[in-house]
Structure 1
Amino acid sequence: MNIAGSGLSMHQTWLDTLSYNISNVNTARATSGSAFQAQYAIAQSAAGPEGGEGVRVSGIALGDAQGRMVYQPDHPLADANGYIRMPDIDLGSQMSQLIMAQRGFQAQASVLRNAQDVYSSALSIGKQS
């Protein structure tokens, strides 16, 4: 149950970073500043004294601060040449990762539910005597 719980926690962090990135995919900034930086959860195995103990988030990596320059002369943040700075986020990739993170979260939740059912059944065997 600890391993499944650690998986739930990791997948929740992954889902949080993906939703943050997707919600900011169209965040424009002036060219004098840095672009919105995407967040990427870094997962790492959490080994205990007896072997595998699940997974943990070891940190959050940030995307490219340079972003990409987009020509939009009518945008209020456009510079003298008509450019704004947009994040370098691939929405298709973020959506694909979102599906993977959701499925992983669902799988970990299912493992926890099944383990709880098995433990409840085992406890009820002792009560029937």
Structure 2
Amino acid sequence: MSVEALLDATRAGLAYERLRMDAASRNIASSNVPLRTGDAARVWQAPAAFDPQLGAALETAPASTRAVHDPNHPLADAKGMVTYPAVDMVHEMTNLMTATRSYEANVRSFNLLRSMMLRALEIGAK
């Protein structure tokens, strides 16, 4: 495997883990944003098939909702219920932590490969 292929694999890993972190942080941020009447709940997710050459964007998927009784809220329905996306905070925090750890591991491998390349250049210059 060439050095460039190793660098490309590391870059792809960094890009994918960044997407996973973005999806989890958006889901956490939107967990307490009420839905307007008729709006469907959506959650963000990283694409299942990731191609670093094509790039990727976050995808949305349908989600369930949760209702909270708050008759004073401007978006409350006739029964006083406000609808929010049902975001599983434990799942999203776990995704966020594992994506962060994976991102850090990719950074470490990229830095290690870079230092090995620099060391090889130093040896070759002697």
C-alpha contact (below 8 Å) 2:19/2:57 kept by paired residues: no
Instruction: Give ranges in structure 1 of 5+ residues lacking alignment.
Output: 47-53
C-alpha contact (below 8 Å) 2:16/2:50 kept by paired residues: no
Cα offset, 1:45, TM superposition: 5.8
User: TM-score normalized by structure 2?
Assistant: 0.82
Q: By percentage of residues, which structure has more strand?
A: 1
Letter in structure 1 aligned against 2:35? R
C-alpha contact (below 8 Å) 2:19/2:58 kept by paired residues: no
C-alpha contact (below 8 Å) 1:40/1:63 kept by paired residues: yes
Matched, 1:40 2:38: no
> Considering only aligned residues, what root-mean-square deviation do their CA atoms show, in Å?
2.2
* Distance in structure 2 (CA, Å) of the matches to 1:9 and 1:39: 16
Letter in structure 1 aligned against 2:83? R
Q: Residue 26 of structure 1 is aligned with which of 26, 32, 35? A: 32
* Distance in structure 1 (CA, Å) of the matches to 2:54 and 2:17: 10
Q: Which moved more, 1:55-64 or 1:116-125?
A: 55-64
Counterpart residue number, 1:79: 77
Q: By percentage of residues, which structure has more helix?
A: 2
Letter in structure 1 aligned against 2:13? G
Letter in structure 1 aligned against 2:91? S
* Distance in structure 2 (CA, Å) of the matches to 1:115 and 1:7: 14
Mapping of residues 48-59 of structure 1, within 5 Å = none
Q: Secondary structure at the match of 1:13?
A: helix
Q: Percent identity?
A: 28
User: TM-score normalized by structure 1?
Assistant: 0.81
Counterpart residue number, 2:18: 12
C-alpha contact (below 8 Å) 1:35/1:86 kept by paired residues: no
Cα offset, 1:57, TM superposition: 6.6
C-alpha contact (below 8 Å) 1:7/1:56 kept by paired residues: no
Counterpart residue number, 1:2: 8
- Tell me how many residue pairs correspond in the alignment: 120
Q: Secondary structure at the match of 2:49?
A: strand
Instruction: Give ranges in structure 2 of 5+ residues lacking alignment.
Output: 1-6
